[in-house]
Structure 1
C-alpha cells in the first residue's frame, strides 16, 4: 500500500496497466518510445536504469517474449509501485526491481553483463532550472550524484560486449549525449528525433548505441507525433497503441 494518491493508467492500448503517483513523477509517452527503440531481435536480460514505476520495462516485456527486465530505482515508493505493476501485469519472475543508486550500484547488479540497457536519465543539470516542489519529480528530473556522461558511463559498464543501449532525453541535450558517446567509444549509433508536429523543432530524441562496435552513426528521419489538429499521427499511434518498433534497426 502507498500513503499517497495514485492513478491507474493504460499504455500500449491497454496491454500494460500501471499505477503511479497522481502528483510528481508520472510516466507518459517517453517510456513507450524508449521501449519501442529496443530491437525486436533482443533476447536475454535487460536493465532499466531509473525505472520509476516500471513503465518502460513493462512495455518492453509486452513486446519481447524472450527477455527478462531488472529495474533499478532510487526512490522506494516508486520501486514499490513498479513491483506491484509487474505483478498486476502478470510478468512474474520476468520482472524484478532493485532499490539503489546508479552512482553506487547494488552488488546484485555488478558484473552482470546485461544484453541491453534502457534509461531515461534526469533531464536537467543542477542549477539550470527551478526545481519541482514534489520530491519524486525533483529527483527524477534534476541531476544529482551523476551528470549525464557519468550516468551513461555507469550504464555502459553494466553492458555485455556488443550489448544495446537505448535512452530518451531532451533534444537540446543531444550535443551532451553525442559527446558522452564519443568518450565511451560506442558505435552503431542511431539518433531518432521525435517531432511534436510537422515543421516544429524536436523536443525529444531517442538514441541507441552498441558497446564495442564501430558501425557509424545514423540519423534517422524520426517520428512526427501529432497532426495539425493535435491528434496523434498514424505512425505515432502504431508505436504508442500497438507496440510497433520506433525505427528499423540495423542487422547485427
Structure 2
C-alpha cells in the first residue's frame, strides 16, 4: 500500500476501497448516492467525477451484473478507480476513462446509458481548501449545469440522472436538471436527526420527464446511540432508497 493511500471498506465490508490519504475521502455521500440509483442487472450506468470509485463500487455491490462507465478528470484518481474495480472483482464490468465534464463532445460520444449519477463539486465560491484534491472535490470549476448536461447527454429516454448535493444548492440543482432536459424531479432529503434541517439531498430527474416534482419523506440518519435502523440498512447492508 502506498503511504499516500489508505485501504478502507464500505457497506459493512462488501466494498474494498483504496483512496488518497489526503483530500476529500469517500463517506456517506457516495453510499447514499449509490443507494438512490434505481439500476437493474444488465443495465449500463454512467458516473461522472468518480474519484477512486466509491459510488460505483457501492452501486455494483447492491446490483450485481451492472455495466459501469466512469469518467474522472484526475489521472491518479482514475488509476485508483480502475485498481479498486479490479480489487472488487469488477474489471470486466467497469470502464474508467479520463475526461472533463465540460467536454460535451465526449459526452455525446458515449454509449447510451440507463442511469447517470454524480457527487459533483458543490460550492461556487467561498474559501477553497488548500489541498488540491479536496479543493477539486468541493469547489466548482465546472458548473452544476455542466455536470447535468454531461450526464444527460448519453441517457436513454426516461433514463435517470441523480445528484447528491448540499441542501443549500437545491435551487441551483433543480435549474441544472431543467437545463439538461431532465424533469419529473424527485427530492429526497437526508435528515441528520429528527427535527433537524437536512444538510444533504438526493436530487433526481428523468430524461424527457414531464410529470410533477415530488418531495419524499427522506431518510433520518441518526437516532439515540447511533445510526437509525433505516440508515443502517442503507449504509451497512446495501439497501436501496426506493423511488
Displacement of 1:109 = 6.5
Higher mean C-alpha deviation, range 206-215 or range 10-19: 206-215
Structure 1 runs of 4+ aligned residues shifted over 4 Å read 105-109
Unaligned runs of 5+ in 2: none
Partner of 1:236: 231
Displacement of 1:39 = 1.2
Kept in 2, the 8 Å contact 1:43–1:115? The answer is: no
Q: Does 1:27 align with 2:26?
A: yes
5 Å matches for 1:83-102?
Answer: 83-102=82-101
Aligned residue for 1:85, secondary structure, equals: helix
| CA 1:17–1:159: 2 relative to 1, 3 Å | same
Q: Does 1:134 align with 2:118?
A: no
| CA 1:18–1:178: 2 relative to 1, 3 Å | same
Aligned residue for 2:221, secondary structure, equals: strand
TM-score (norm 1): 0.91
Q: Does 1:225 align with 2:224?
A: no
| CA 1:159–1:176: 2 relative to 1, 3 Å | same
Over aligned residues, Cα RMSD in angstroms? 1.8
Displacement of 1:111 = 4.3
Match of 2:182 among 163, 183, 186: 186
Displacement of 1:182 = 2.8
Unaligned runs of 5+ in 1: none
In structure 2, C-alpha distance between the alignment counterparts of 1:120 and 1:216, rounded to whole Å? 24
Aligned residue for 1:81, secondary structure, equals: helix
Match of 2:192 among 196, 199, 223: 196
5 Å matches for 1:149-164?
Answer: 149-164=145-160
In structure 1, C-alpha distance between the alignment counterparts of 2:186 and 2:38, rounded to whole Å? 12
In structure 1, C-alpha distance between the alignment counterparts of 2:76 and 2:129, rounded to whole Å? 18
Report how many residues are paired: 243
Kept in 1, the 8 Å contact 2:41–2:66? The answer is: yes
Displacement of 1:105 = 5.4
Aligned residue for 1:197, secondary structure, equals: coil
TM-score (norm 2): 0.94
Displacement of 1:42 = 6.2
